Amino acid sequence: GTPAAADAVAALTAACKASGCDEELGRLTAAREPFDEHTAQLIVPGLYLGPLMAAESDAWLELHGVTAVLDTTGGWRRKSSALDGQSWVREPPPPPGRRQHLQLPAEDRADFNIEPLLRRGVDFIREAIGAGGCVL
């Protein structure tokens, strides 16, 4: 991993311990729901990791109390049409509303420098959880 990734993990671990959620983490880990590729998994209290399907489901976000969504796809979405087949389009983040959204323009290339995006993402997560929110 990169130094930024190690810093991100350390920062999230410290925030978890500072809020007293490290004790709850053991309980939650023991009671974890079975893996479902269409939903997100609770990583630590207040932080889910999951697929685009969960991030685009208002029902799922409401059910799990998500107040902030971190999108690392850069807004790219696959669109299908009977006439055109499949194509990729870039969509902007949703307009401001009930949830905060941060869309990071990560690219799936070996030479892409993700470190600055990691910093922005960690800051976004830290701010949302610090305000009592929940992040996907």
Residue 24 has pLDDT above 60, yes or no: no
Mean of the pLDDT values across residues 7-33?
57
User: Looking at 22-26, 40-44, 110-114, 122-126, which range is the least confident one?
Assistant: 22-26
Of 115 and 6, more confident = 115
Residue 21 has pLDDT above 80, yes or no: no
User: Looking at 20-34, 36-50, 65-79, 100-114, which range is the least confident one?
Assistant: 20-34
pLDDT value of position 66: 94
Task: Give tens-digit pLDDT for 71-129.
Answer: 887 766 667 666 666 666 667 667 677 889 898 888 878 998 988 888 999 999 999 99
pLDDT value of position 28: 47
DSSP states of the chain: --HHHHHHHHHHHHHHHHTTHHHHHHHHHHTPPPP-TTS-EEEETTEEE--HHHHT-HHHHHHTT--EEEE-STTEEEEEETTTEEEEEE-PPPPSSSSEEEE------TT---HHHHHHHHHHHHHHHHTT--B-
